[in-house]
Amino acid sequence: MEERPLTGISPPGRIAAPGEGIGQDELSLAARNHGLPLEALRYEVTPAGLHYVLVHYDIPDTGTGTGSDTDADTWRLTLRGHVRTPLELDLRDLRSLPSVTRRVTMECAGNGRARLSPRPVSQPWLVEAVGTADWTGVPLRTVLAEAGAAPGAVEAVFTGADHGVERGVEQDYRRSLPLPVGEDVLLAHTMNGGLLPPQHGHPLRLIVPGWYGMAHVKWLRDIELVDTPFGGYQQATAYRYKQAAEEAGEPVTRIAPRALLIPPGFPDFMSRTRVVRPGPVRLAGRAWSGYGAVVRVELSTGGDPDGGPDGGGGWVDAEVLPRGGHPYAWQGWHADWTAVPGTHTLLVRATDASGRTQPLRQPWNRGGFGNNQVQAVSVVCR
């Protein structure tokens, strides 16, 4: 359906007061939408159940993804609008088309939001809204070529089967991409070799390698080619970098670089502070960017993000593993550290081939998007 106003339900967008803790509203989102347990950074490919999850509304009733349900038999993808030949495809049609598999690191644009001060009130991610999966599906271009773009088509609009209200706008989850779409964009029916789990978009989702999560529309049921840029809520109002609510802002697109540590040693239950023994410690992690390969990861073991322009400690280069055959997946990195008794703050910082890097200070914006401020990990050596 078309978007329409539905007032009196959605609380207005809000910035937390200085020092205000996480509220019930944020907790209810955080309890639904889980992050990657950071120790799972050890896996090159994230097991499906450990991949982060973000769902704006409800997981729609499109089947369980276990193979024992018949819902996927009745599911259809429609292609319509400014096309030469409207199409209606079922899963069998899609599975019969040549498929490709791509290893893709996906990250929520809101990752890092809860570390902002003041904090935009929304899903309170710290740094864990990331995961990497092997997505198999049909290149979107294949299906678009079959339908054929009619003259004047400028964008493809993707609609999911989920429905809700957000900031007073009742809507289906819907996003667009400009035409022509990249050759790497996929209609994925398979995750890590199995059916998509319900929470990851069963039976079909869009995969837009290099872009933040909001572009990867789940439970995809319709693609419409349009002759004017899509002005829907998720495109024109949400997912914009802006300082004030009334600004138009800049669209959120590709993933800014980030490096994360596989948490060293063992954790304290509540504080998550890490404990390591004195002596050599291998520090390792993953780093990624939607703007090209990560060419450098630096580590500071005497770090203090507020300790001065260089983070208060010296930076040393970690060894960054090459991308191998997976241009859209995170890269491993490691460095050796000799831990001495005391309390340490470890900082890691990635730089990509485009020269983009991670700031020590927060890149604040009203939606809390793209906050790739360096990660700081507290470690006690005893």
Ligand X SMILES: Nc1nc2c(c(=O)[nH]1)N[C@H]1C(S)=C(S)[C@@H](COP(=O)(O)O)O[C@H]1N2
**Beta partners for residue 251, in sequence order:** 240
16, 79, 106, 225: residue in contact with ligand X (rule CB under 6 A): 106
What is the DSSP-derived secondary structure letter of residue 147?
H
35, 81, 137, 213: residue in contact with Mo ion (rule CB under 5 A): 213
Q: Which does 132 bind (CB under 5 to 8 A by kind): ligand X, Mo ion, none?
A: none
Name which of residues 195 to 224 contact ligand X (CB under 6 A).
199-200, 213-214, 216-219
The region of 23-31, 49-57, 81-89, 224-232 touching Mo ion under the rule CB under 5 A is 49-57
Name which of residues 84 to 113 contact Mo ion (CB under 5 A).
108
- Determine, following the binding rule CB under 5 A, whether residue 54 of this chain makes contact with Mo ion: yes
Instruction: Tell me the C-alpha distance between 38 and 53, whole Å.
Output: 14
Structure-token pair, residue 300: 């500071």
Structure-token pair, residue 155: 């964008």
Instruction: Tell me the C-alpha distance between 288 and 67, whole Å.
Output: 33
The residue number with the shortest CB distance to Mo ion is 108
- Determine, following the binding rule CB under 6 A, whether residue 55 of this chain makes contact with ligand X: yes
Cα–Cα separations (whole angstroms), residue 55 to 29, 35, 249: 9, 12, 24
26, 35, 41, 56: residue in contact with ligand X (rule CB under 6 A): 56
128, 134, 162, 224: residue in contact with ligand X (rule CB under 6 A): 162
Gyration radius from the chain CA atoms: 21
CB nearer Mo ion, residue 110 or residue 311? 110
Least separation in angstroms between residue 157's CB and ligand X is: 13
What is the DSSP-derived secondary structure letter of residue 159?
E
Strands 87-90 and 186-191: unpaired
Cβ–Cβ < 8 Å for 52, 108: yes
Q: What are the backbone angles phi and psi of residue 349, rounded to the nearest 5°?
A: -145, 125
Q: Which does 52 bind (CB under 5 to 8 A by kind): ligand X, Mo ion, none?
A: ligand X
CB nearer ligand X, residue 216 or residue 349? 216
Residues contributing to the site for ligand X (CB under 6 A): 51-56, 106, 108, 160, 162, 173, 199-200, 213-214, 216-219
